[in-house]
Amino acid sequence: MKVLKFGGTSVGSADRIRAVAGLIDNGEPQIVVLSAMSGTTNTLVEISNCLYRNEKQAALHIIQNLEVNYYIVITELFETEAYIQKGKTFIQTIFTYLRSFINKDFYPLQEKAVLAQGEIMSTTLMHYYLEECGVNNTLLSALEYMRIDKDCEPDYFYIRQNLKRELAQPDTHPLIITQGFICRNAYGEIDNLKRGGSDYSAALVGAAIKAEEIQIWTDIDGFHNNDPRIVEGTKAIRHLSFDEAAELAYFGAKILHPSSVQPAKKENIPVRLKNTLCPDDEGTLITEDSPAKNVKAVAAKSGITAIKIKSTNMLLAYGFLRKVFEVFEAWKTPIDMIATSEVAVSLTIDCTEHLEEILKDLEKYGTIEVDRNMAIVCIVGDFSAGKSGLGAQVLKALEEVPLRMISYGGSAHNISVLVKEEDKKKAMTDLSHKLEDLQH
């Protein structure tokens, strides 16, 4: 059995829903994971923000506009009056539920329930459309099997056992439609896997059933050797390893959620990235190993903050680094890059929610310098220890770009450099042009 995930743009209109239905109606057993229709989650976040601010009329106005948009989709999607009415009745139920929050106190728990409605709507409309077309399918609620634990990490045992139970039901068809992103938490409340979590959902489902293949369908033909939004003339990469894909996803390649690689790698399940607009294109295949190549791709991550802790006593201070890391652990803030010398340690973070508290805690260990509005440029390829000269060529390509930090040697697949946000485009373009010979 395969697991196929389709993102918001892939189901973003009546035409796109019909196109996806045509792709999955192929007689093969498969679990299809859907995101909310494009724009819906952002709108639901906007509604939630209005409710937090007690702006009831503004929230009502946004709810009404979104409801009208869905009624338009329904009239365009379905052919028969029976299914048009069935779709409208269902949508009316969803929006009555959303309006029920207008006169209540609004908390983060309610926001999670509001955000879940996007995936519930997209999967139900797909289920109805397939029914209207005479295609047998089962709508399986992710809330019946997808769960995170008290640390907000996937509960692998729970997911595997409950998904196995649901799939064993006698009325389950070989074609199964389910939601990405949404889940329950350890207390049984509606929760989610954070933004972009539909990829993660598909990977968790694939790992749980030991799928033949996990396919992530988007509107681009796989990973590219650079960011096509920034650099012209990029090309799709046909084969990556799990580690290479994880590096690219984490450091800015938006096509794949960073967390989604690990479950597939754990069970050694191939992941294939496909384009819904060009379904015959082979896309990018991700497996345990991939053909060796010097430089495969460049990606970038913006919104980075660099912190330098300088202490002349650092060399003799046993446990200094441990104390620094404990500050970030206490504030649950991950570190992206790190560089050390005898008297200083520099590191980067992309989450600044607790930055002021972190800086206050770090001041007891030395002088603090902070650089905001930075970007990490990540060069992914084969940088194994046996190779010589490749790192020098990468840095040579960046000779006209001021570098704030360099990370080399922490991974056999990655060289990362920290630059100012204003220098990011030049860094990526220079790498693309000057390392072109190494990418063939």
Distance CA 180, CA 142 (A): 7
Q: Has 119 been labeled as part of a binding site?
A: yes
Q: Is 409 annotated as a binding residue?
A: no
For residues 296 and 244, the answer to whether their CB atoms sit within 8 Å is yes
Q: Is 41 annotated as a binding residue?
A: yes
Token code pair at residue 427? 């860094």
C-alpha to C-alpha distance for 309 and 328, rounded to whole angstroms: 13
The two tokens of residue 25 are 């109606």
Residue 181 assigned to a binding site: no
Sign of torsion over alpha carbons 13, 15, 18, 24: negative
Tell me if 383 is assigned to a ligand binding site: no
Contacts 24+ apart (CB under 8 A), 422-428: 423/375, 424/230, 424/300, 424/302, 424/375, 424/377, 425/230, 425/231, 426/400, 426/401, 427/300, 427/377, 427/398, 427/401, 428/226, 428/227, 428/230, 428/231, 428/298, 428/300, 428/377
CA 373, CA 229: separation in Å to the nearest integer? 19
Ligand-binding site membership of 229 (annotated): yes
Residue 184 is assigned to a ligand binding site: no
Q: What six digits make up the tokens of 111?
A: 């926001």
5 in a labelled binding site: yes
DSSP lists the bridge partners of residue 6 as: 34, 217
Cα-Cα-Cα-Cα dihedral sign, residues 380, 381, 386, 387: negative
Do residues 62 and 46 make contact, with C-beta atoms less than 8 angstroms apart? yes
Mark the binding-site residues for substrate, compressed into ranges.
41, 119
Mark the binding-site residues, compressed into ranges.
5-8, 41, 119, 218-219, 229
Mark the binding-site residues for ATP, compressed into ranges.
5-8, 218-219, 229
